[in-house]
Amino acid sequence: MDLLRSVRQTTDETEFYTPLPEGYQLGRVKYVAVFGTVISGLGKGIFSSSLAKLMKDKGLAVSPIKLEGYLNLDAGTLNPYRHGEVFVLDDGMETDMDLGTYERMLDQDLTRDNFATSGQVYHSVLEKERAGDYLGRDVQMIPHVTGEVKLRLRELAMRSGAEVVFVEVGGTVGDFENAFYIEALRELRYEEGPGSVAVVALTYVLSPPALGEQKSKAAQLGIKRLMELGLQPDLIACRAEQPVTDKVRQKISVYTNVPMRRVFSMHDLPSIYLLPEQMRHAGLDSEMVQLLGLGGQVNSLADARAAAGWQEFTTRITGANKSTTIGITGKYTTLRDSYASIVKALEHAGAANDARVDIKWIDTTGVDELNVSEALAGLDGIIVPGGFGVRGTAGKIACIRHARENGLPYLGICLGFQMAVVEYARNVCRLEGADSTEITPDCEHPVVDVLPEQKEIEGLGGNMRLGGQDVTLAAGTQAAEMFGGDKTVRMRFRHRYEVDPRYVERLEQAGLIFSGRHPTQPIMQILELPADVHPFFVATQAHPCLTSRPLRPQPMFVRLVAAAVR
Ligand code: GLN
């Protein structure tokens, strides 16, 4: 077939346009495409990452990709209170929080190849158009834009060496924004040939309280929409509050040509970490292996070992013997999604300490020196997380002072690190006009200021220090000890301001220890108070929550929770 060779350029001789990466063989890599129907917010990322994890457990190399409908080139300019936290990858890419779910579930670092937006796709197409790559042809949604989408998926497969690529299409089937992604996956499925692309539809089973029973119609209609677009699902996951009844699963099966054993009840669970076990139990992993013809590549021994290790973790998550309460300060603190990684890191650290961690959100806008002990009453530890702007910072500083003076375990993250420096400068070094220039541009003692090398760069989204960096740990400090005696540790950053090196000596003379620094530059990355002065007072310019994994909890969080439990 003509189609089965790479057509990198549209010419007058052919209508085909199938740009394949160098050395790519059609039908060799497997793809799992995951779509959402009926409503958004179904947990496609959780489903897809859990299934990917089960494939990885079997010894298969996997790589996920999230296809976002929005036009932004990355998630860096998105408001976290509207869209959830901005998740920063090691290579500095600012992505949707779902990439965090994938990194945690798979215990695998991802790159910018694992994240695409409509904006990026159009950007590449327009660049190619300007470069004359389309040889005088009118550039069209099909085949050029869809061709670009397929190219990205195949490039990901080549670069990551994945045997199975998990493609999560953002939004809901029927959205305007993601229609070309759905079309691209239809084309991909045809081109790669039978048994290469499995289509998964997530749907929602309603259960109106007035009726007292589950209804499948919305789910049927949602999946029908996908079928109208030329994609017959191979597997269906039904989100629901309660386990989906056999009757409803049968109905969905009848209307969609999907056998019952591939219609899965994905009902609410006490923890998302229970989902992989639930899927395994329902046989979903073996159904996927069968669909993609991967039986010969499964390593059953590795699979059993991974399952046992995971079960040990989930037992600790759901059956902890101790409990502790950690306060997290921040604005609009009702939105847990804007601090998703911190919540997750506390979960992992709790499991490591056999403790359930209860989180209390503290809005610091009304907090001051007078009411701070009231605001922090009943807490076993506090976190001041990352943030931007002035709002609530005075309250945060009051909280940090209270924690420092009263032996309350403290972990400062990014802005929480900077505020700890300001607090120490003001109240211990007696530098009354100490502040961050982000808050008071013309303050007397700018202990936190814009990075010198960043000063020239202008424009939102382009002037932050982003991504993974090595941090050199000072021997004999808690930081060095908690990372197992390693001399350097890799952490992820997203900031614009830093500690002004001119104040470092003064702060250290007053007892603050900078235990982590940039390997060559005078950039302060971790601070701490000695263990004989405070049970746990540690802060970092990095975002340690981004690299916490269920089976490899991040040490700063583990120590914070341990100190809080004590
Ligand atoms: N606003 C501070 C800065 O830009 C902290 C950033 C953050 O907490 N992510 O440096």
Give per-residue pLDDT as tens, 395-414.
Answer: 999 999 999 999 999 999 99
Q: Which of 494, 498, 523, 541 to mutate to test the pocket of ligand 1 (most atoms within 8 A of CB)?
A: 494
Q: Pick from 387, 420, 425, 380: which is nearest to 538 by CA?
A: 420
Has residue 116 got a pLDDT over 80? yes
b/e map of 41-62 (b: 16 or more CB within 10 Å)? ebbbbbbbbbbbbbbbbbebbb
Q: How far apart are CA 147 and CA 258, in angstroms?
A: 29
pLDDT tops 80 at residue 25: yes
C-alpha 106 – ligand 1 centre gap (Å):
28
Q: Is 44 strand, coil or helix? A: helix
**Residue 33 predicted with pLDDT over 50:** yes
What confidence tens digit (pLDDT) does each residue in 343-373 have?
Answer: 999 999 999 999 999 999 998 988 999 999 9
Tally of CB atoms within 10 A around 317: 18
**Residue 181, beta-bridge partner list:** none
Note the residue count of the chain.
566
Which pLDDT score is estimated for 10? 62
Task: Render 429-480 in DSSP notation, one character per residue.
Answer: S--TTEEETTT-TT-SEEEEEE-GGGTT--STTTSSEEEEEEEEEPTTSHHH
Pair type for strands 197-204 and 235-240: parallel
* Confidence class for position 7, pLDDT limits 50, 70, 90: low
| Distance in Å, CA 418 to ligand 1 centroid | 8
Task: List ligand 1's pocket residues with C-beta within 6 A.
Answer: 386-388, 414-415, 438, 494-497
Looking at residue 343, what is its pLDDT? 95
The string of pLDDT tens digits covering residues 131-157 is: 998 888 899 999 999 999 999 999 999
Distance CA 144, CA 149 (A): 9
CA of 414 to the centre of ligand 1 (A): 6
Which atom of ligand 1 is nearest the CA belonging to 389? Answer: 1
pLDDT at residue 81 is higher than 90: no
The pLDDT of residue 1 is 44
- CA end-to-end span of the chain: 69
Phi, psi angles (nearest 5°) of residue 563: -65, -40
Give helix 284-291 / helix 44-57 axis angle, nearest 10°.
Answer: 80
Residue 448 has pLDDT above 90, yes or no: yes
Atom of ligand 1 nearest to the CA of 448: 10
Q: Give the pLDDT confidence score for residue 453 in this predicted structure.
A: 62
Compute, in angstroms, the gap from residue 494 CA to the centroid of ligand 1.
7
Closest CA to ligand 1's atom 6: 495
Question: In this structure, which residue's CA is closest to atom 7 in ligand 1?
Answer: 386
**Alpha carbon of 495 to ligand 1 centroid (Å):** 4
Summarised one tens digit per residue, pLDDT across range 230-254 is 999 999 999 999 999 999 999 999 9
460 band by pLDDT with thresholds 50, 70 and 90: very low
With a pLDDT cut of 90, the percent of the chain lying above it is 84
- Residue minimizing CA distance to atom 5 of ligand 1: 415
Q: Which residue among 79, 85, 457, 495 is best mutated to probe the pocket of ligand 1, counting the most ligand atoms within 8 A of its Cβ? A: 495
- Provide the token pair at 506: 């003064």
Mean of pLDDT values over 71-84: 85
Would you call the peptide bond into 143 cis, given omega within 30 degrees of 0 as the criterion? yes
Task: Decide if pLDDT at 2 tops 60.
Answer: no
In this structure, the dihedral spanned by the alpha carbons of residues 529, 534, 535 and 540, taken in order and rounded to 10 degrees, is -30
The DSSP letter of residue 350 is H
Residue 279: predicted pLDDT: 97
Which atom in ligand 1 lies closest to the alpha carbon of residue 438?
A: 1
CA distance 9 to 135: 8
The CA distance from 318 to 321, in Å, is 10
440-454 as b/e: b if 16+ CB within 10 A = beebebbbbbbbeeb
Please report which confidence band the pLDDT of residue 461 belongs to, taking 50, 70 and 90 as the band edges: very low
Pairing of strands 322-329, 497-499: unpaired
- The CA distance from 31 to 52, in Å, is 11
7-16, 306-315, 441-450, 512-521: range with lowest mean pLDDT: 7-16
Distance from Cα 497 to the centre of ligand 1, integer Å: 6
pLDDT in tens, 484-522: 988 999 999 999 999 999 999 999 999 999 999 999 988
Please check the confidence at residue 476 and state whether its pLDDT lies above 80.
yes
Confidence of residue 340 (pLDDT cuts 50, 70, 90): very high
pLDDT tens, position by position, 209-224: 999 999 999 999 999 9
pLDDT of residue 320: 87
Query: How does residue 390 score in pLDDT terms, banded at 50, 70 and 90?
Result: confident
524 Cα to the center of ligand 1, angstroms: 14
Across 84-112, average pLDDT: 96
Average pLDDT over residues 7-13: 65
Where are the alpha helices (H) located in 131-196, listed in sequence order? Answer: 146-160, 179-192
Say if residues 515 and 537 touch (Cβ distance below 8 Å): no
Regarding pTM above 0.75, the answer is yes
Q: Quick one: pLDDT band at residue 464, thresholds 50, 70, 90?
A: confident
Q: Which of 87, 391, 418 to mutate to test the pocket of ligand 1 (most atoms within 8 A of CB)?
A: 418
Q: What is the pLDDT of residue 483?
A: 94
Q: What is the pLDDT of residues 55-69, one digit of tens each?
A: 999 999 999 999 999
| Residue of 329, 414, 448 to mutate, ligand 1, most atoms within 8 A of C-beta | 414
Task: State residue 175's pLDDT score.
Answer: 93
- Ramachandran angles phi, psi of 259, nearest 5°: -60, 150
What pLDDT, on a 0 to 100 scale, did the predictor assign at position 331?
Answer: 63
**156 Cα–ligand 1 center, Å:** 31
Task: Calculate the average pLDDT of the chain.
Answer: 93
Which pLDDT belongs to residue 354?
95
Atom 9 of ligand 1: nearest residue by CA position: 386
Q: Which residue segments constitute the domains of the chain, with CATH numbers given?
A: 30-312 (3.40.50.300), 323-565 (3.40.50.880)
Query: How far, in Å, is the centroid of ligand 1 from the Cα of 387?
Result: 6
Mean pLDDT of 436-446: 95
pLDDT at 229: 96
Centre of ligand 1 from the C-alpha of residue 438, in Å? 9
Residue 507 has what pLDDT?
97
Query: In this model, does residue 3 exceed pLDDT 60?
Result: no
How many C-beta atoms surround the C-beta of residue 316 within 10 A?
A: 19
Which structure tokens are listed for 170?
């953002």
Q: Among residues 554, 52, 24, which one has the least CA distance to residue 289? A: 52
Mean predicted confidence (pLDDT) in 111-124 = 97
Does pLDDT of 186 surpass 80? Answer: yes
Does the pLDDT at position 335 exceed 80? no
Q: What is the 417 CA–ligand 1 centroid distance (Å)?
A: 9
Q: Which atom of ligand 1 is nearest to the CA of 498?
A: 10
Ligand 1 centre distance from Cα of residue 496 (Å): 6
For ligand 1, atom 8, the nearest C-alpha belongs to 386
